Amino acid sequence: MYYENVRRLLLYYNAKCNYENNMKGLHTYMEFKNCTYLLCDTPAVVNDKIFDKSLLNRKKGTPGTDPINKWGRELILTWLLTPVEPDSEIMNLHKIRSIPLLQELIYWHKEGNFDRVSSLGMLMILRDDMAKWIPEMEKKKETVSPFFMRQSIFREKFLEKKDPFAEIHKMRKLRRG
């Protein structure tokens, strides 16, 4: 039932799951449901942190080793102490709305079971991996089939097409200037 709830939440939020792949069960269940695409690939930044390369044979998730979990907690600390905006005194720590997560962060110790801290660590590892990927916004040049350009009515409409927000941009420039 837990794995099904995870699967449904991932589908609902159109999300990917970075899980500790040394725990059995989730990957098998997702394979059974043909939903392994909902599991994230092993982050590339993890390669540098693992000494036992046999753990990298798994294609999905992140190994839950002690060095990886320690690194995840370091990423959490860095994120918590980062200001929300540049030159702001408000840090990400002040924006957390989950009281249980804050309690687990406060009372964390090595021998305890702090699942919220572990999951936040997996999120920070995935976030660190995705930080290197900056999407490029390409402006697609509109191309029109030669067939349509031969038609006079279409050619006139295509050539007279303007920016629908041009008037708004002009008004903003006048107000600023």
- pLDDT > 90 fraction of the chain, expressed in percent and rounded: 31
Task: Tell me, yes or no, whether 158 and 118 share the same domain.
Answer: no
Higher pLDDT, 45 or 148: 45
Task: Tell me, yes or no, whether 86 and 160 share the same domain.
Answer: no
Residue 17 vs residues 9, 39, 55, 60, 116: alpha-carbon distances, Å: 10, 5, 18, 9, 14
CA distance 88 to 82: 10
Q: What's the pLDDT score for residue 176?
A: 66
> Containing H/E element for 93?
none
Among the residue ranges 24-33, 63-72, 92-101, 144-153, the one predicted with the least confidence is 144-153
Q: Under DSSP, is residue 17 helix (H, G, I), strand (E, B) or coil?
A: strand
Mean pLDDT of 94-117: 91
Residue 42 vs residues 67, 101, 168: alpha-carbon distances, Å: 16, 25, 46
Number of domains the chain is built from: 2
pLDDT tens by residue, 77-102: 999 999 998 888 899 999 999 999 99
Task: Tell me, yes or no, whether 113 and 150 share the same domain.
Answer: no
Cα 4 from chain centroid (whole Å): 22
Is residue 50 pLDDT above 80, yes or no?
no
Cα 130 from chain centroid (whole Å): 7
